[in-house]
Structure 1
Amino acid sequence: MAHVFVYGTLLEPTMMQAVVGRLVASQPATLLKYVRSQLTGCYYPGMVPSDYHQVTGAVYCDLTDAELARLDYFEGPEYLRATVQPVLGESNQVVSAEAYLLQPSEQSRMLHLDWDVQHFRQSNLQEFLEVARATMRRYESGDAASVPPHGDSTP
């Protein structure tokens, strides 16, 4: 079982449910020495290492290998899954978790503006939820070779 640190669209529990197929328990968390940024032409952010920043997010607990495979597909080739060490908000405990970092080849798309989950929930959640559901239907149908439509998700 794995923990996953999320910092963008997957902070919304309905998004996570659409991707992995169930509601997953989560805890607030902070990841030190990383920065989150809006990306050009996207509803979702990217995250990269940065000595002078921190990212607020959440840790989803106890995901299976099959659920991680679903997340890998959803995140697509723009992201690289890596192990990080977030601090859980309630206990200040440091845990090991997987996170999706923006690939170096994609970092020029960073706008250096923090991404706002409240704005996403109010303005883009319903539309992006449909994108996520369609993406995961393709995965479930065995068409996992097709690339998720992240590039079609313009604000």
Structure 2
Amino acid sequence: MGDRKAFFYGTLMSRRILFRVIYLNEKADQDPVMSRMADQLTYEPAILHSYGRFKVQGYDYPGIRRAEGYCVRGTYVTGLTDANMAHLDAFEGSQYHLEKVRVGILESAKPLGEEKGEGVSRALEEGQEVEAETYVWNKSDVGLETTEWDFGEFVRDKLQNWVGSSDEYQESDDAHARNEGHDPTGGRGARSDKWKQ
């Protein structure tokens, strides 16, 4: 289990995409061998204040930048290894830099409408503040739209383009290959015979 902690606010909020990048297997949690690695990760909803999440012009993914009056909801993930982060660095490329931030963990509050006996949905309230690493857009406002990026819209309209084989993963796949000998999976995830042994 690794000791790196990250805040994901875009496509990597999808576990399928996260697993594809760090394990080369979008269904790592369902693979009998790989699930042991995937089970080492923990996920919690979180919020990052004073940053805005905006669409990157011409692409399906967002970038964040400092923006007073804004906040970004995302996922706080713990248990990441240095090798996982190297694959994420390659996936994010030169458009982003890794920055340490503080995020608030979102916790369930009392059900909304409980006092009237309606309590179906639950409100989220901010709890403990923790440190994490996150990928921040490198180019200030250049290349970012003024429109905020929406994860639900991405899942509904674009996720199917990102699962399976995609050119989006080429740089992270190359990083896996370069890590041959440093990554316990030999850079190929648990699909390799070497790792299964």
Identity over aligned pairs, percent: 29
Decide which of 115, 119, 137 is 2:153's aligned counterpart. 119
Q: How does 1:3-152 map to 2 (within 5 A)?
A: 3-21=5-23, 22=28, 23=38, 24-90=41-107, 92-104=127-139, 107-129=141-163, 130-131=165-166, 132-142=168-178
Aligned pairs, number: 142
| Cα separation, 1, equivalents of 2:173 and 2:68 | 39
Amino acid at match of 1:98: E
Retained in 2: the 8 A contact 1:18–1:136? no
The CA distance in 1 between the partners of 2:10 and 2:133, in whole Å, is: 14
SS of match in other structure, 2:59: coil
Q: Deviations over 1:6-54 (max 9, x none)?
A: 1100111111111111533210000000000011101000000112110
Any unmatched runs of 5+ in structure 1? 144-155
| Contact 2:45/2:74 (<8 A) preserved | yes
Tell me if the contact between 1:80 and 1:100 (Cα under 8 Å) persists in the aligned partners. Answer: yes
Q: Deviations over 1:57-106 (max 9, x none)?
A: 1101121111111111110000010000000002611110000000026x
The structure richer in strand per residue is 2
Structure with higher RCO (Cα < 8 A, 6+ apart): 1
Calculate the aligned-residue CA RMSD, in Å: 1.8
Q: Name the SS for the 2:160 alignment partner.
A: helix
Shift of 1:133: 4.3
| CA apart distance, 1:127 | 1.6
Q: Which structure would you say has the larger Rg?
A: 2
Residue 122 (structure 1) shift: 1.8
TM-score by length of 1: 0.84
* Aligned residues of 2:88 and 2:172 also touching (Cα < 8 A): no
